[in-house]
Chain A
């Protein structure tokens, strides 16, 4: 005789009864390292105190000057950029900038707005990696696992003396013939937004009023307790509490699983993590000093390096063509407009707001 087994009807979506279950799905990949990835070349010169005579030092400087002779600024007409059309699915290059601080500005109705000032450093395109090649690299394979591969532009910022870098690092810039840059970054671009090497990127790459995403590493708070790190309430300050003011309290039950679950919130290192601030609006661009004012705040402390891209939020993307593939100042050297403000902002030199 067949025994009929009735199976209990299972819920399709499991309801979470304990926080442990949610926490168990938290990523356990190591989030922070102090060393760069193993495929990077050694960057900083390890031999610090080299005793060379002043004559030799002068000779070394002459060699450097000869190698990286001052080039005239590159104009748009010099580069052989194929005129490619912009379409809404184009991904343009991003830009490396430094967060130089926070400034208060006011809108036309008198409302105060906290704006972050981002100084676009001397960005130059170093090389372009086409989609097929990039998809074969370690990071590229992960990023484009299930989608169509895109190209990658390597952009460098903040030129520095080659003395402080190793030969392998300086060789990365040999093709372009530029002074080695302190900071390199990769930007994913569609093939129609490709820029040739040596192209400068400035604040004019962006348009006032557009939304940008800013990537940075958050402020490093160091080893922090559970109250600051996870927002625990701690214990009572008085009423007889013995040595229990900022501690975590219980870390698990005795019965269920009988151990501490992975992901239990405890004191530890806080900060210095990759974060994106999405959809920040640009309210002002100063073309003379290459400075962008962005509404809101940005991850990272003052004077830290951030990367700025066009936003990926669908409702704040471009509807009209931006400077594509990038902005080139006019040939005769005149700036069309030094300081561009958003239409909503109160310009400081204009009369006081009446009502």
Chain B
């Protein structure tokens, strides 16, 4: 009965706090003159719900339901043939180990991020790339995300593996969501929607408890396109203005019954009970890591040490697409980062 109650609260929390994130995972705000108070505040904001107790009298820690969206790579691939609890547990231990060394912040598709990678062939030994996250996927140590930017009128996309040890730093410059889960249509959109300055500063927001949704509607270039966007129910795209035959064919080809298919949804997701177990397992360690990082940030701010930004004092000529931004390790076939050039045309 307690289990049912726990599940109920979990699911309610899921519905209500869809965009809320826990107040402990702040963005790059460094200084608060009362550090202890903020951590107390964070605790009060119910970062972890402590259940009064189960039958044995032990406290049961339940992670907040937002974790499902903040750390989706902790959930394994739902395909039942390839699941094994022991292997998932070991993988999670490795992921937490890696996270204790590098801060992998919370981000969503549509957030603007900067990634610093070790590169033997760049003069600075590090390569920094800024872009908007257009897609993220993978589970466990295979989790990846794609950043897109337009550099010197050339569209550039780089796929980064989140747990690759070559990654030195991941910063979220603007934390927000868009109306779609995948922004691949930016490849066919006008270039200004994918352009972000390479020396962009991290944006600080006043209200940290909610991740804003950017209701931007993107204008697409005239056809031909890379995909049939009219068939994909995109919310973040302006009216496509296509002849009626496209929409008719889209209707013919559509599968409207899939939204009623419970088994399809069941097979695509991990059940709520398992998610709960997984995040409860992982929650305390993540919290500890966040806390340590906050303390470290506050110490460094108090000591007035200048935070070193790699590439900050770099030569402005380095922004040329002569290969200095794109590390050659990304062009290797065995490399874990793939580089995609896009021809830019009006």
For B110, list chain A residues within 8 Å (CB): none
Q: Which one of B58-66, B160-168, B236-244, B263-271 is at the A interface?
A: B160-168
CB-based contact B97/A112 at 8 Å? no
Say whether A352 contacts B84, CB under 8 Å: no
B94 within 8 A of A: yes
Query: Given the complex of chains A and B, what is the CA–CA distance between A291 and B94 in angstroms?
Result: 14
The answer, among A112, A286, A291, A351, for a CB contact under 8 Å with B164, is A112
Q: Are B86 and A291 in touch, CB under 8 angstroms?
A: yes
A104 touching B97, Cβ below 8 Å: no
B176 within 8 A of A: no
How far, in Å, is A346 (CB) from chain B's closest CB?
5
Residues of B within 8 A of A166 (CB): none
Q: Are A110 and B164 in contact (CB under 8 A)?
A: yes
A348 contacts partner chain B, Cβ-Cβ < 8 Å: yes
Contact residues in B for A333 (Cβ distance below 8 Å): none
Interface secondary structure of A, over-half rule = loop
Task: Collect the chain A residues with CB atoms within 8 Å of residue B142's CB.
Answer: 104
Question: When each residue 151-172 of chain B gets 1 if its CB lies under 8 Å from chain A and 0 otherwise, what string results?
Answer: 0000000000101111110000
Q: Are B84 and A110 neighbours in the complex by a CB distance under 8 Å?
A: no
Whether a CB of chain A sits under 8 angstroms from the CB of B120 is: yes
Chain B residue nearest in CB terms to A348:
B97
| Chain A residues in 8 Å Cβ range of B326 | none
Kindly state whether residue B82 has any CB partner on chain A within 8 Å.
yes
The distance from the CB of B125 to the nearest CB of chain A, in whole angstroms, is: 5
Confirm or deny: A68 has a beta carbon within 8 angstroms of a beta carbon on chain B: no
Chain B, Cβ-Cβ closest to A351: B101
Choose among A105, A302, A348, A354 the residue that contacts B84 (Cβ–Cβ < 8 A).
A302
Asked if B118 lies at the interface with its beta carbon under 8 angstroms from chain A, I say yes
**Residue among B86, B98, B125, B335 making CB contact with A100, cutoff 8 Å:** B86
**Total residues of chain A contacting the partner, CB 8 A:** 26
Q: Which residue of A lies closest to B168 (CB)?
A: A352
Q: Is the CB of B164 within 8 A of A302?
A: no
Task: Confirm or deny: A289 has a beta carbon within 8 angstroms of a beta carbon on chain B.
Answer: yes
Residues of B within 8 A of A302 (CB): 81-84
Closest residue to B332 on the A side, CB-wise? A111
B86 touches A110 (CB 8 A): no
C-alpha gap A348/B100 in the complex (Å) = 9
Residues of A within 8 A of B102 (CB): 352
A291 B90 Cβ-Cβ under 8 A: yes
Contacts A110-B164, A110-B166; is A117 near B94 (CB within 8 Å)? no
A112–B335 CA distance with the chains assembled, in angstroms: 7
Q: Is the CB of B118 within 8 A of A110?
A: yes
Q: Looking at the complex, which one of B94, B167, B335 makes contact with A352 (CB distance below 8 Å)? A: B167
Q: How many residues of B contact A (CB 8 A)?
A: 33
Contact in complex: B118, A354 (CB < 8 Å): yes
Nearest opposing residue in chain A for B91, CB measure: A103
When C-beta atoms are compared, the residue in chain A nearest to B329 turns out to be A110
Any B CB within 8 A of the CB of A271:
no
Known: A111-B334, A349-B100. A289 touches B166 (CB 8 A): no
The reply to whether A101 and B84 contact each other, CB–CB distance below 8 Å, is: yes
Q: Tell me the smallest distance from the CB of B86 to a CB of chain A, in Å.
A: 6
Q: Digit string of A281-320 for contact with B (CB within 8 Å is 1, else 0)?
A: 0000010010100000000011100000000000000000
- B301: shortest Cβ distance to chain A, in Å? 22
With a cutoff of 8 Å between Cβ atoms, the chain B residues found around residue A349 in the complex are 97-98, 100-101
B188 within 8 Å of A by Cβ? no
- For A103, A104, A119, A346, which residue has the most chain B Cβ atoms within 10 angstroms? A104
Bound CA–CA A110/B334 (angstroms): 10
Q: Are A286 and B101 in contact (CB under 8 A)?
A: no
Q: How far is the CB of B126 from chain A (nearest CB, A)?
A: 8
Residue of B nearest to A350 (CB): B101
Mask: chain B, 297-336; 1 = CB below 8 Å from A; 0 = not: 0000000000000000000000000000000010000111
Give the chain A neighbours of B101 by CB distance below 8 A.
Answer: 348-352
Residue pair B118, A355 in contact (C-beta under 8 Å)? yes
Q: Please report the C-alpha to C-alpha distance between residue A119 and residue B81 in the assembled complex, in whole angstroms.
A: 17
CB-defined interface of B78-89 with A at 8 Å, one 1/0 digit per residue? 000111101100
Q: By the criterion CB–CB under 8 Å, are B165 and A352 in contact?
A: yes
Distance in angstroms between the alpha carbons of A350 and B165 in the assembled complex: 9
Q: Decide if A106 touches B165 in the complex (CB within 8 Å).
A: yes
The answer to whether residues A353 and B87 also contact, given A101-B82, A111-B334 and a CB cut-off of 8 A, is no
Contact with B along A322-355 (1 / 0, CB 8 A): 0000000000000000000000001011111111
In the complex the two chains form, what is the Cα distance from A150 to B264 in whole Å?
Answer: 54
Q: CA A348 – CA B94 in complex, angstroms?
A: 6
User: Looking at B81, B100, B164, B168, which has the most chain A CB atoms within 10 Å of its CB?
Assistant: B164
* B274-287 Cβ-contact flags toward A at 8 Å (1 or 0): 00000000000000
> A83-134: which residues lie under 8 A (CB-CB) from chain B?
100-101, 103-106, 110-112, 117, 119
Separation of A286 and B91 alpha carbons in the complex (Å): 12
B164-216 with Cβ < 8 A to chain A: 164-168
Shortest CB-to-CB span from B129 to chain A, Å, is 16
- Shortest distance from the beta carbon of A110 to any chain B beta carbon, whole Å: 4
**Given the known A-B contacts A110-B118, A112-B334, A348-B98, are A353 and B86 also in contact in the complex, defined by CB atoms under 8 Å?**
no
| Interface membership of B73, Cβ < 8 A | no
- Interface residue B141 (Cβ < 8 Å from any Cβ of A): yes
A353 in contact with B118 (CB, 8 Å): yes
Our pick among A101, A346, A352, A354 for the contact of B87 (Cβ within 8 Å) is A101
Closest 7 pairs (CB-CB, A-B): A348-B97, A100-B84, A349-B97, A100-B87, A101-B87, A110-B166, A112-B336
Some 29 contacts from A to B, beta carbons below 8 A apart, are A100-B86, A100-B87, A101-B87, A103-B87, A103-B90, A103-B91, A103-B140, A104-B142, A104-B163, A105-B141, A106-B165, A110-B118, A110-B164, A112-B161, A112-B334, A112-B335, A117-B87, A301-B81, A302-B83, A346-B165, A348-B94, A348-B95, A348-B165, A349-B100, A352-B101, A352-B166, A353-B165, A355-B119, A355-B120
Apart from A106-B165, A112-B164, list 11 A-B contacts with CB within 8 A.
Answer: A103-B141, A104-B163, A110-B164, A110-B329, A111-B334, A112-B334, A112-B336, A303-B81, A348-B95, A348-B101, A352-B165
